[in-house]
Every structure is written in C-alpha cells, then in structure tokens.
A and B are shown apart, each in its own frame.
Chain A
Amino acid sequence: SYELTQPLSVSVALGQTARITCGGNNFGSKSVHWYQQKPGQAPVLVIYRNTNRPSGIPERFSGSNSGNTATLTISRAQAGDEADYYCQVWDSSTVVFGGGTKLTVL
C-alpha cells in the first residue's frame, strides 16, 4: 500500500519560517492536500492541489510539490500555528494520510 512519510515534529522560532515535508513515491504526479488540526478540534484544509489556499487561509501558508517530496511552508510563524499537520493524497481509489507532524512554535 502507498505510504506518506512526515517528520514527527518540527520546531520553529516565533516569526521564522517552518517547513513540513511529506514524502512518497512518484509524488510529482499526485495532488497533495494539507490539513491543520489543533488540539480538540476538527482538521482544517490549509492547502489543496499542492499549492492552492482555500479562502480564509492566510497567505503565510504555501505549498509545493517536486520530485518525491511535498512541502508545506509557514512563513512568519505565529503561536496560533502550533498544531498537527497532515498531508494527504489519493492513490488509485483510496485515500492516504501521512502520519502527521507536530509543529511547535518556540
């Protein structure tokens, strides 16, 4: 079965740039979506189809997909960005989520 690999945790200083990666085989041909989940809350879509931001998501959130790695970039990180982040793709007729990355803002 298809697998997505994310780092368990990423730390970033307040105001700096955080990058969260998501790896998988033949990634370049897939659309990657990203979700943010804060404690006790439902996930929120923050990036879809590799690079697109839904309405209401700050421009500080951006995405890229190249080769075998997709990256969620959070610029000017704020305390409120602390959360778990999940990448997601479709593989054949099934959905695959990455294991999630806990972002800590120092």
Chain B
Amino acid sequence: EVQLLESGGGLVQPGGSLRLSCAASGFTFSSYAMSWVRQAPGKGLEWVSTISGSGGSTYYADSVKGRFTISRDNSKNTLYLQMNSLRAEDTAVYYCTKMYGSSGWLQPFDYWGQGTLVTVSS
C-alpha cells in the first residue's frame, strides 16, 4: 500500500524558512517522480514543484521559483521542499504526491498524502 506522510509544517513569520518532508513507502521510491501541490484555505489546487525519480530534473511554478527548492533522498525514501522567503500567500496545506511515471512530465498525481499546513503570519 502506497503511503505518503508529510511533516514539517507550522507557523512561520513572513520572510522565514521552513523545510517540509515526505516519507514514502509501499513502492519503489526512486522509480517515480514526486511533486508538491498546495491548497490555500478555501481555495483550489495549485501545483508547486515536481522532481524526477532520479532527481535530475526539477520543475517549479513561477510563484515559487527562486524561493523553493525540491529535492529527494532515494536512500531514505524521502521527498523534501525547502521554502525560503515565505510570504503570506504561501499559506496553504501542502500535499506530497506520487506521480504515475519516472519523469513526471505529462503524468498525473496518482497518490496523495494527507497534507501538512503551513501558515505564514506575523
């Protein structure tokens, strides 16, 4: 059974940093691309970033490019999202998602974690 468990969310001040983690199990982690998708309170889904199975390719939404960094440790079956220069508009539930294939490109998000809440406020 695929399981994705996010951690690291919390309250942070504007301009601050936070690192999210996602522990994956139930599949061969290194064979699949992974992504982060967020959802602001009461709003729709917004894609944040994708990383290929090998970690060699990464993609970012314009809204986070230059501030967020996605990475993975295939030896630990763990996905990360380093978030710097946080803004109020980054407040959202952040979902860790597994993608259907190894590259991620054109693929759907076939499994989702339960999400971790990030609140950016002074």
Contacts and interface: CB of A to CB of B under 8 A. Distances in A.
Interface string B26-55: 000000000101000000111100100000
Contacts of B35: 95
Contacts of A98: 44
Contacts of A1: 62
Nearest to A48: B108
A96 B44 contact: no
B38 to A, nearest CB: 11
B109 A45 contact: yes
Nearest to B113: A42
Contacts, number: 57
A54 interface: yes
A48 B99 CA distance: 11
A26 interface: no
Given A31-B106, A48-B100, A88-B108, A97 B113 contact: no
Nearest to A86: B45
B105 A100 contact: no
B55 to A, nearest CB: 16
Contacts of B45: 35, 37, 43, 86, 88, 97, 100
B80 interface: no
Given A1-B62, A93-B105, 16 more contacts: A42-B112, A43-B95, A43-B109, A43-B112, A45-B109, A45-B111, A48-B100, A88-B45, A90-B107, A94-B59, A94-B61, A95-B35, A95-B47, A97-B46, A100-B44, A100-B45
20 contacts: A1-B62, A33-B108, A35-B45, A35-B109, A37-B45, A42-B113, A43-B45, A43-B112, A44-B112, A45-B108, A45-B110, A49-B108, A54-B110, A86-B44, A88-B109, A93-B105, A94-B47, A95-B50, A98-B44, A100-B45
4 smallest beta-carbon distances between A and B, as pairs: A95-B47, A33-B108, A42-B112, A48-B108
